[in-house]
Amino acid sequence: MGFADQFWQLTVDGLMVGSLYAVIALGYTLVYGVLQLINFAHSEVFMLGAFGGLFAARGLLPGGATPSGPASVGLVAAGLAVGAACGAAAAFILERVAYRPLRRRSAPRLAYLISAIGASLFAVNLAGKEFGRQNVPVPDLFTNGTLFHVFGAQVSTQTVVVLGAAVVMLVLLDRLVARTRLGQGIRAVAQDADTAVLMGVNVERVIILTFVIGGLLAGAGGFLYAMTFNASYNMGFVPGVKAFTAAVLGGIGNVRGAMLGGILLGLVESYGGYVFQASYKDVIAFLVLVGILMVRPSGLLGVRLGRAA
Amino acid sequence: MLTPARLRQLWVCLALGVLAAVVTGPGGDSAHPFRALRRSVVDPRIGIFIGLAVGLWVLLIAVARLRPLLAEVTAAARARRPVAAALGGPHATTGLNAVLLAAAIVAPLLVSTAAQQSMVNDIGIYALLALGLNVVVGYAGLLDLGYIAFFAIGAYVTAYFSSSSAMPWHAPFVINPFFVFPIALLIAALAGVILGAPTLRLRGDYLAIVTLGFGEIIQLLANNSDEVTNGSRGVFGVPHLSVDLPGIHYRWGIDPLPYYYLLLGIVVVVMIAFGRLERSRIGRAWAAIREDEIAAEATGVPTLRMKLLAFAIGASVSGFAGVLLATKQFFNPQSFSLQSSFLVVAIVIFGGMGSRLGAVTGAVVLQGLAFYLRDKVPPTDRYIYFGAVIVVMMIFRPQGLVPSRRRRREIELAGTTAGASDQLGAAPIGRTIT
Amino acid sequence: MPPRGRASRKGHRMSAVAAAGPADAGVPGGTPSDLVLEARDLTLRFGGVTSLDGVSLRQRRGEILAVIGPNGAGKTSLFNCFTGAYRPQQGSVTFWRTSRRPARIVGRSPHAITHLGIARTFQNIRLFPALSALENVQIGTEVRQRYGSLSAVLGLPGARRQERAGVSRAFELLDLVGLSRRAHDLASSLSHGEQRRLEIARALGTGPRLLLLDEPAAGTNPAEKRALEALIRRIAGGGVSVLLIEHDMRLVMSVATTVVVLNFGRVIAHGTPAQVQRDPAVVEAYLGVETGVDAGGEVR
């Protein structure tokens, strides 16, 4: 079968993975927007959320047959909610422990990155110790099967669930940033933190909430990711780097850019993985990253959160 | 007495105690995710950690109480400065260096063979790696997270040139590993320039991510190309180092001691060389770039070229160390994992960025700790401690264990007044919010 | 910074046009020029905002030229075009290190321009705060040194000699600006006025033929201003042309040989201090922003 035959299937798969990258990428972009730094430990927030959601779903799952109907919906919702909560808690603690003390001292940017790397090492390996170092599947929360076809491509229940949940989150986040007072605060801090302080924005609060929102998204995204690819202590790294790539691709600090970047990267990777070898999929993402940084470091949309030029 | 702040402090101490109990407690598995946690926390052992936490809290209060007294003591010590100056003079430094060198010469004779092996593989080679990375991170202020890739390049280049059987892919002629040193050094430096030339224009944190990707790609390539590098099976049978000169024949073998002294010699030479570099116009140019890149450029410092130079020097040291690794022992792509890169970063941070003695001290302490823990914790769990060390250092002692004078000043200035900012840019958010 | 890439081609084309202009543009091998700097038709835009709008100016060798104008007139933008920090969309800048060797400035990187012989100071002092005053100046003097990393590592005699020469030159310059007693103090520990003088010493260390001073008197006291005036005269007397941005009119009127007035990115007047002071266009430009003229200590 040639590429043309597979095109739509690859597109559907790419869209699904891409929507997850987009969800994670938002965490990078939001934090970058308010603090101008890369939250290197974001991938661990994602991982912890995945485990949280997985354990919750497993705990609530009644024994016996695969659930269906409302039970499935409830279980997926519970997994998403607990995953999001765990992600938010992890992001909150991360901000408290690894970032805030440095901010108090107005440390150089390098220090934040290093501190985040330390936190990431700590979290990954602690998770490996507590939860074991093997892949952990999410139990079946619904009967997976082909739901319908699009141009001959099979669309599974799983794909619909993941894509649907991701799109809902993306839309909610977009509304949040564009419409709410908190979103206004985030945009104000992103534009000019010093002035935002003078205008009465509680910058500390905005920073914490930004981390928490990023954590909510990453945690829920982690659960969705684990439904497709299993969970493991080191699951965060690769999607983390890819989501970062997506954020840069769209223009880091730009909310819609991160969404666009995630979807594009998912597609590129899906097509590329078919054309080349699947084992070089990760290389493709890195090459995309390096390529963008060389050619257009400001990304496709380029506009920073709330910044006009 | 028990102000809210104090209570908060107690709470933090207790949280740290529980965390420490979890970290040091038994491991678990995914089938019973909370069993290990429960066993760590619901266990008589927790009493020790709670006790330690309360002890820490009391200590913190005591220190806060005694601070006025301490200030007086230090003031009195300052008054006696002439004495301190005499102790800290150049003679004292030379003396200290002599003592350290003597200790380094004697130390391996006092320990087991297993420890000697560790002193070569874990401490010696990583001290060398840390010295190289220190040029990149400490001097030029660039964060390279794919540093270990150059180490891999050095090792594979050695296998390529010095053996016809170690890898499927090999040179048409075999040369003595000693002659591979300059080749590996040049190839690693070249790889550094090729990677650095386009990426060093980027902002610092982008550079970190791109180098991270480079490290991953190199490891992935080594792992996936069975027909070139033997893939994940690794490289066996690179000959040991040997000297074959008229009159002098010597072969480094299984015994770790000769390798140790060779490494010690190399480390000392590299330390001296980089010390001279640091005090030259090149070192000053790096300091200028670190402190204010725009001003450096306006003062005529070719910033891009100087960064590239630091990058190439660091890479060449890493490649050099790769030769030692290859001739010393078996290696496979796992030897060049991302975590090894992080370990080198941890060593440099822990020892003190920009400090040569710090890089070596960091390797000795962190790797010594790892060796000490080898029977007590699984090797992968060590990284929990390394991670914690990095975060704690960044919070409480960003200048490192043996700080360099310049770096310490920069950190102090950043904390107090306007001014010093890293090459990676000023503090992310203005000083108005605290 | 404005985009460097997109505007570049245009810049080159314009400079080619300028090169075909009148003979006094100093084409290589032509008649020696008595100019040190010539800007032609410089235009610099940031998005929709035009910061410089066809600015042309000339500075003769040895001259102290002052650029004045209300805040936001484009003075610092002009400096940034001369030093390579900004790349103008249009126009050319020519610099003569010696009277027979003109060089195009636009398109060169800042360090290359410093090597050619243009040095600068910054409006909001940019020293290397954690280095000593001596080291700050040394970094300037070492720009002209040639030894590389290998000779530094090996401690070759050439490297050592250059190193010593750099130190003694740095001491001379510290002496010139009256900071030799503070040579080993950290730059950040110096007073504001001392930091301004240290920045001048560092710039002089690079061996410039043209020194750009961006508001050197800002934030200094009257005594320091008098010392600064003398220092600028000494520098110019030593054969270094000085281009000065300054808000302090007393200083400008007493030290400058020629004054150029910018407003809204255009040159509105040009002449001796006395001529410019009487110029009705200048008076008008400054009406309503009069405080900007008087306030000597004003920054930005």
Which helix (H) or strand (E) segment holds residue B307: the answer is: helix B303-328
Residues B267 and B192 in one domain: yes
**Alpha-carbon Rg of chain B, whole angstroms?**
24
Mean pLDDT of B1-13: 81
Q: Which of B282, B288, B303 sits opposite C128 (nearest CB)?
A: B288
Over residues A11-27, mean pLDDT = 91
Q: With 60 as the cut, is the pLDDT of residue A184 above it?
A: yes
**B178 and B291 share a domain?**
yes
Q: How many domains would you assign to chain B? A: 2
Enclosing domain of residue B192: 121-415
E strand or H helix that includes residue C211:
strand C210-214
Looking at residue C287, its pLDDT comes to: 61
Say if the Cβ atoms of C129 and B406 lie within 8 Å.
Answer: no
pLDDT value of position B13: 86
Whether residue B420 and residue C188 make contact (CB cut-off 8 A), yes or no, is yes
pLDDT at B89: 59
Other CB atoms within 10 Å distance of the CB of residue B401: 17
Does the structure show a pLDDT above 90 at B43?
no
Does B303 sit within 8 Å of C153, measured CB to CB? no
Where do the DSSP E strands lie in C64-142?
64-68, 90-96, 102-104, 118-120
Q: Residue A13 falls within a domain, yes or no? A: no
B278 and B345 inside one domain: yes
Q: Are residues B128 and B237 in the same domain?
A: yes
CB C265 within 8 A of CB C258: no
Q: How far apart are CA A47 and CA A83, in angstroms?
A: 9
Q: Is residue A284 domain-resident?
A: no
Beta bridge partners of C263: C266
B389 band by pLDDT with thresholds 50, 70 and 90: confident
Are B139 and B41 found together in one domain?
no
DSSP structure class, residue C25: G
Selection from A210-224, A274-288, B102-116, B230-244 with the highest mean pLDDT? A210-224
Sign of CA dihedral B318, B321, B327, B330: negative
Residue B66 has pLDDT above 80, yes or no: yes
**Among C83, C139, C188, beta carbon nearest to B285:** C139
Q: What is the pLDDT of residue A225?
A: 92
- The answer to whether residues B402 and B352 touch, using CB atoms and an 8 Å cutoff, is yes
Query: Would you say residue B135 lies in a domain?
Result: yes
Same domain, B138 and B212: yes
B401 domain residue, yes or no = yes
Cα pseudo-dihedral A193, A199, A204, A210, rounded to 10: -70
Portion of chain B with pLDDT greater than 90, in percent: 28
Residue B278 lies in a domain: yes
B134 and B59 fall within a common domain: no
Provide residues of B within 8 Å CB-CB of chain C. 273-274, 276-277, 280-282, 284-285, 287-288, 291-292, 294-303, 309, 313, 406, 409-410, 413, 417, 419-420
Interface check C131 vs B, CB under 8 A = yes
Secondary structure percentages of chain A, helix, strand, coil, to 5: 75, 5, 20
Nearest CA in chain B to A106: B427
pLDDT at C17: 33
Contact between chains at B413 and C139 (C-beta distance less than 8 A): no
The residue in chain A having the minimum alpha-carbon distance to the alpha carbon of residue B34 is A130
> Could A131 and B29 be called an inter-chain contact, meaning their C-beta atoms sit closer than 8 Å?
yes
C19 touches chain B (CB under 8 A): no
On whether both B58 and B137 belong to a single domain, the answer is: no
Pairwise CB contact (< 8 Å): B295 & C115? no
Percent of chain B surpassing pLDDT 70: 91
List Cα–Cα distances, C271 to B128, C78, C112, C255, in angstroms.
Answer: 64, 18, 31, 14
Asked if B358 and B127 touch (Cβ cutoff 8 Å), the reply is no
In the DSSP assignment, the letter for residue A148 is E
- Mean of the pLDDT values across residues B182-192? 94
**B418 at A interface, C-beta within 8 A:** no
Inter-chain contact B413–C109, Cβ cutoff 8 Å?
no
Model confidence over A55-104: pLDDT tens digits? 998 888 877 677 877 888 889 999 999 999 999 999 999 999 889 888 88
Model confidence at A143, pLDDT cuts 50, 70, 90, reads confident
| Sign of the alpha-carbon dihedral angle for B364, B368, B370, B371 | positive
Kindly compute the dihedral angle of the four CA atoms of residues A81, A82, A83, A84, in this order, to the nearest 10 degrees. Answer: 50
Quick check: A153 contacting B, CB < 8 Å? no
Query: Which residue of B394, B407, B431 is the best one to mutate when testing the A interface, meaning the one whose CB has the most A CBs within 10 A?
Result: B394
* Contact criterion met (CB below 8 Å) for C247 and C68: yes
Inside any domain, residue B83: no
Query: Mean pLDDT over all residues of chain B?
Result: 83
pTM of the predicted model as reported, rounded to 2 decimal places? 0.84
- Structurally, chain A folds into a number of domains equal to 1
Q: Does residue B111 surpass a pLDDT of 80? A: yes
Give a yes or no: residue A261 inside a domain. Answer: no
**Residue C41, φ and ψ in degrees, nearest 5:** 55, 45
Q: In this complex, do B427 and A36 lie within 8 Å of one another by their Cβ atoms? A: no
| pLDDT for residue C249 | 87
pLDDT value at position C31?
A: 67
Per-residue pLDDT tens digits for B195-233: 888 888 877 777 888 888 888 888 888 888 888 888 888
How far does the CA of residue B71 sit from the closest CA of chain A (Å)?
Answer: 22
DSSP label at residue C131: S
Which of B395, B423, B432 comes nearest A101 by C-beta? B395
**Cβ of residue A107 closer than 8 Å to a chain B Cβ:** yes
Residue B31 covered by a domain: no
> How far off is chain B from A100, nearest CA to CA, in Å?
9
Q: Report whether C128 contacts B413 (CB < 8 A).
A: no
pLDDT at A271 over 60: yes
Question: Is A99 part of a structural domain of the chain?
Answer: yes
Q: Where are the beta strands (DSSP E) in C78-208?
A: 90-96, 102-104, 118-120
List pLDDT tens digits, range A157-179.
888 888 999 999 999 998 998 88
| Residue A305 resides in a domain | no
Please report the pLDDT score of residue C232 as a whole number. 93
Spatial separation of the C-alpha atoms in residues C217 and B299, rounded to whole Å: 20
Sequence-distant (≥ 6) Cβ neighbours of residue A268 within 8 angstroms: A14, A284, A288
Best mutation site among B185, B280, B353, B421 for testing chain C: the one with the most C CBs within 10 Å?
Answer: B280
Q: Note whether C111 contacts B285, CB cutoff 8 Å.
A: no
Q: Shortest Cα distance from B294 to chain C (angstroms)?
A: 8
Distance from C-alpha of C207 to C-alpha of C210, rounded to nearest angstrom = 9
A45 falls within a domain:
yes
Facing residue for B298 by CB, picked from C83, C135, C152: C83
- Identify the top-confidence range among B170-179, B258-267, B369-378, C3-12: B258-267
Q: Residue C242, by phi and psi: left (phi above 0), alpha (psi -120 to 50) or beta? A: beta
Let me know if residue A251 belongs to a domain: no
Q: State pLDDT tens for residues B130-175.
A: 999 999 999 998 889 899 999 999 999 999 998 888 788 887 888 8
Q: Which of C82, C139, C144, C185 to mutate to test binding with chain B, by most B CBs within 10 Å of its CB?
A: C139
What pLDDT shows up at residue C171? Answer: 94
Residue B93, domain member (yes or no): no
Other C-beta atoms closer than 10 Å to the C-beta of B191 total 23
Choice between B341 and B32, residue whose per-residue pLDDT is larger = B341
Range of the domain at A76: 18-235
Round to whole Å and give the CA distance between B148 and B346: 13
Q: How many CB atoms lie within 10 A of CB C169?
A: 19
Q: Is A273 a member of any domain?
A: no
B407 assigned to some structural domain: yes
- Residue B205 maps to a domain: yes
Per-residue pLDDT of chain C (300 residues; tens, 9 = 90+): 444 433 333 333 333 333 333 334 444 445 677 889 999 999 998 877 888 999 999 999 989 999 998 888 888 899 999 999 888 999 999 999 888 888 999 889 999 999 999 999 998 899 999 899 999 999 999 988 888 888 888 888 888 899 899 999 999 999 999 999 999 999 999 999 999 999 999 999 999 999 999 999 988 889 989 999 999 999 999 889 999 998 888 899 899 999 999 988 889 888 998 888 888 888 887 765 444 444 333 333
How many Cβ pairs within 8 Å bridge chains A and B?
202
